[in-house]
């Protein structure tokens, strides 16, 4: 009876023989510390990380013949010649791993800084739109936007001298400090100095509230000096919904009652003013009426024959 494959594998483990792995080893990771954007004359460290027990690391600069068989490369002062693409790999026995993802080491501060602005402004409500514009006085055709805390910048080759970075439907995650860089496509790893920082503030959207203030004086209607009624959508299952609705309806009833009283008083005042005006008009008409005729004077017996009144004669006698 022949042994099974499982028994042969266990026998190999006991004897210290492990079947050789077929195919390339998993790729390592390569990172730049503290960042892959390095100002000129500042230090940076490149570190290649693979599984435990690696026999040999190789770190190389692409597009050149330079490499070193070490996992760590320390650069005490960044130079223009050191900017470029890097990758690393490792060896176990006779097998090499897949190469790591490429790392772009960028030298910054090679050119003057551009300017960064936000349109329509650096403060935007959640769900709104904002556009960050990077502008330079030099004829660069490449721009990059960098947010503090993000692993890599956002590149945007748009137009000469300036570029726009639209942010559609912003959220709280877009809040932060931004800087932009400008460079040329002919030297993609030699960038300008960073722009002055721009702080983007995203405010959470709050539902609009309507405030109604009721103040009636002159003993017409008494209420609070200022009462705010906040109208907000009733949340399903909320116990405060009926009480809030009752509170709003009560205030609306008070407002309507006060308005009715004001209309009634206005009617009384209009009627009183109309009646006073009518009486005054009657007085004026009484003054303007013609005087009544005088009563007829009594004639004396001596005047029955048609002579003059006796008054005239009495006046001559005196």
| pLDDT the model gives residue 316 | 38
Highest mean pLDDT among 16-25, 63-72, 191-200: 191-200
Q: Which of 131, 94, 135 is nearest to 112 (CA)?
A: 135
* Pair 119, 189 in one domain: yes
> 3-state DSSP call for residue 103?
strand
Same domain, 147 and 216: no
Choice among 108-117, 124-133, 278-287 with the minimum mean pLDDT: 278-287
**How confident is the model at residue 298, as a pLDDT?**
52
Helix runs in the chain, H state only: 5-14, 240-288, 310-317
- pLDDT confidence of residue 273: 67
Higher pLDDT, 274 or 219: 274
Q: Is 308 among the domain residues?
A: no
Confidence of residue 317 (pLDDT cuts 50, 70, 90): very low
* CATH classification of the domain holding 58: 2.60.40.10
Instruction: Label the pairing between strands 84-92 and 95-96.
Output: antiparallel
pLDDT at residue 288, as a whole number: 40
Q: Count how many domains the chain has.
A: 3
DSSP category for residue 66: -
For the purposes of burial, counting CB atoms within 10 Å of the CB of 106, is it exposed (0-12), middle (13-18) or buried (19 or more)?
A: buried
Residue 120 has pLDDT above 80, yes or no: yes
Is a pLDDT exceeding 50 seen at residue 194?
Answer: yes
Residue 268 pLDDT class (50, 70, 90 cuts): confident
The Cβ-side half-sphere exposure at 1, using a 13 Å CA radius, reads: 3
- Pick the last residue of a domain from 106, 121, 154: 106
Please provide the average confidence, as pLDDT, over all residues in the chain: 75
Range of the domain at 61: 25-106
Least confident range from 71-80, 176-185, 227-236, 258-267: namely: 227-236
DSSP sequence for 245-269: HHHHHHHHHHHHHHHHHHHHHHHHH
């Amino acid at each position: 009876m022949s042994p099974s494959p499982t028994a042969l594998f266990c026998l190999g483990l006991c004897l210290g023989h492990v079947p050789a792995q077929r195919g390339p080893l998993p790729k390592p990771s390569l990172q730049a510390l503290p960042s892959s954007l390095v100002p000129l004359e500042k230090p940076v460290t490149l570190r290649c990380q693979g599984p435990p027990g690696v026999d040999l690391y190789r770190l190389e600069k692409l597009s050149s013949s330079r490499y070193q068989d070490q996992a760590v490369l320390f650069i005490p002062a960044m130079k223009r010649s050191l900017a470029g693409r890097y990758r690393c790999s490792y060896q176990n026995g006779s097998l090499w791993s897949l190469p790591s993802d490429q790392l772009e080491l960028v030298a910054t501060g090679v050119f003057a800084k551009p300017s960064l602005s936000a349109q329509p402004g650096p403060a935007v409500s959640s769900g709104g739109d904002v556009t960050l514009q990077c502008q330079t006085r030099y004829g660069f055709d490449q721009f990059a936007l960098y947010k503090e805390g993000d692993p890599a910048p956002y590149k945007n080759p748009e137009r000469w001298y300036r570029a726009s970075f639209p942010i559609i439907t912003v959220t709280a995650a877009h809040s932060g400090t931004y800087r932009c860089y400008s460079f040329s496509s002919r030297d993609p790893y030699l960038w300008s100095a960073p722009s002055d920082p721009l702080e983007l503030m995203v405010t959470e959207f709050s539902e609009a509230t309507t405030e109604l203030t009721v103040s009636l004086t002159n003993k017409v209607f008494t209420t609070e000096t200022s009462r705010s009624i906040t109208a907000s959508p009733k949340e399903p299952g909320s116990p405060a919904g009926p009480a809030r609705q009752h509170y709003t309806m009560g205030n609306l009833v008070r407002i309507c009652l006060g308005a009715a009283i004001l209309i009634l008083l206005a009617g009384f005042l209009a009627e009183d003013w109309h009646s006073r005006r009518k009486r005054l008009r009657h007085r004026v008409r009484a003054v303007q009426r013609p005087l009544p005729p005088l009563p007829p004077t009594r004639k004396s017996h001596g005047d029955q024959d048609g002579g003059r009144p006796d008054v005239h004669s009495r006046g001559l006698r005196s």
